[in-house]
Amino acid sequence: MAAVEVDGLTVRYGDLVAVNDASFSAAAGQITAVLGPNGAGKTSTIEVCEGYRRSAAGTVRVLGLDPTTNQREIAQRMGVMLQAGGVYPGARVADTVRHYCALYGKGADAQALVQQVGLADRARSTWRRLSGGEQQRLSLALALAAKPQVAFLDEPTSGVDVNGRDTIRGIVRALAAEGCAVILATHELDEAERLADRVVIFDQGQIIADGTLTELRRGHDEIRFRSSPALDLHALATAIGMIASQVGPDEYVIDAPPHPRLMATLASWLADHGHPLTDLRAGSQRLEDVFRRLTAAKQDPTKHDGAA
């Protein structure tokens, strides 16, 4: 049984339909990234799962329970990390973690949690004196105080520096490895790409893709390179037998598997024509490109390729 099951969920704010007939599931021991731009419906969906918000239609089950009627029971087994805030500005780090450990009553060691999220030297600092990244790490510690079976983490690495991101990623992976179902809401595609086992993409209130990264990328290999700003794309196409598209001032993409002969021909053509090769990447599309492709397909159904 999935830890989180969302079936036909619809959320309305007056006349506005924030989530429209969304269905997905998240398994225990996996990291499920819920992606989408701001206003796509991901936070509304997560808030229904957390028991904060009621749905207009559809069913949601978290650990087999209905969040609207069993919120207290779910809360005992659920870790939550809000996108921002959630702590008294004047509260100290150590006191806050101790407070939440007591509220959950699961025997979590407050001092060890503070250490785990890398805030041991800030234990006596108040929330308002923490940097944005430190506040995120404290929020994560509060979610861990629940010793959760399911964790909803909203933008956990937003505003966090590189070292802090590594710390958070390590904790999130460990949480999943212990069997927790981690639901990660983010609009940072790179973060999802690094962490997620499964990806659910929202756009304009609807789920436009749901699958593993491999599934979403399947059949979409590419060669991406940087060179002079104004290549003769017609001549290049004649040389390599493929069409190259310019996607940035000096960035180009060829939609093709990265065959060594093709790459060698490309490199030779650039060298023969005196152009530099400042960057070259070949293989599966980045999640960002998958996302662009899928959202473009939604706006123009003729481009839809069945990836969802």
Binding site for another protein (CB under 8 A): 50-52, 72, 75-76, 78, 80, 82, 84-91, 95, 99-100, 102-105, 126, 142, 146
**HSE on the CB side for 92, CA within 13 Å?**
11
Q: In what order do the strands lie in the sheet with 16-26?
A: 16-26, 4-13, 57-62
CB of 254 to another protein, least distance (A): 47
CB of 181 to another protein, least distance (A): 16
Nearer to another protein by Cβ, of 80 and 290: the residue is 80
The answer to whether 94 and 110 have CB atoms below 8 angstroms apart is: yes
Nearer to another protein by Cβ, of 25 and 135: the residue is 135
* Distances in whole angstroms, Cα of residue 94 to Cα of each of 78, 80, 101, 122, 305: 21, 18, 11, 8, 51
Give ∠ CA 32-120-113 in degrees, rounded to 5: 40
Nearer to another protein by Cβ, of 105 and 283: the residue is 105
Nearer to another protein by Cβ, of 99 and 169: the residue is 99
Nearer to another protein by Cβ, of 19 and 223: the residue is 19
Question: 2 in helix, strand or coil?
Answer: coil
Instruction: State the DSSP code for 123.
Output: T
CB of 37 to another protein, least distance (A): 22
CB of 263 to another protein, least distance (A): 51
CB of 255 to another protein, least distance (A): 44
* Distances in whole angstroms, Cα of residue 85 to Cα of each of 57, 91, 154, 202: 29, 12, 11, 24
* Distances in whole angstroms, Cα of residue 63 to Cα of each of 28, 50, 150, 202: 9, 11, 8, 23
Nearer to another protein by Cβ, of 90 and 179: the residue is 90
CB of 91 to another protein, least distance (A): 7
Kindly give the pairing relationship between strand 150-154 and strand 78-81.
parallel
